[in-house]
Amino acid sequence: MRIKYAHKACDKTYRTSYFIIAVFWGWYVLKDTPYLPYYLGGMAGGDYKNIDLETIYSEYPAPLIAYSFCTFGYHLQDMITHAFF
């Protein structure tokens, strides 16, 4: 029973660490873009509606793309683990 609880504690610690890092990394990446509202620490004039403005032809900053792929990869791995194991 102790081994089961130890594995569960390690898993929850890993997930908590991931989400804390992802939140701060996401804020750091988004704070200088026009997508994050000012009341969340973004630029003046930033708003969620700016995401829809010319999204097809926009060039996104490299850190934003890296953040998106890394966070997507975590959830994709979790889905694969859940579905097949």
pLDDT of residue 35: 75
pTM of the model: 0.75
Predicted local distance difference test score (pLDDT) of residue 18? 95
- Nearest CA to 30 among 15, 51, 13, 11? 51
Question: How high is the pLDDT of residue 51?
Answer: 65
Average pLDDT over the chain, rounded to an integer = 86
Query: Residues near 38 by Cβ (< 8 Å), separated by ≥ 6?
Result: 44, 45, 46
Query: Which pLDDT belongs to residue 55?
Result: 62
User: Chain-centre distance of CA 15, in angstroms?
Assistant: 13
Q: Are 77 and 85 within 8 A, CB to CB? A: no
Q: Give every residue of the chain whose pLDDT is below 50, as ranges.
A: none
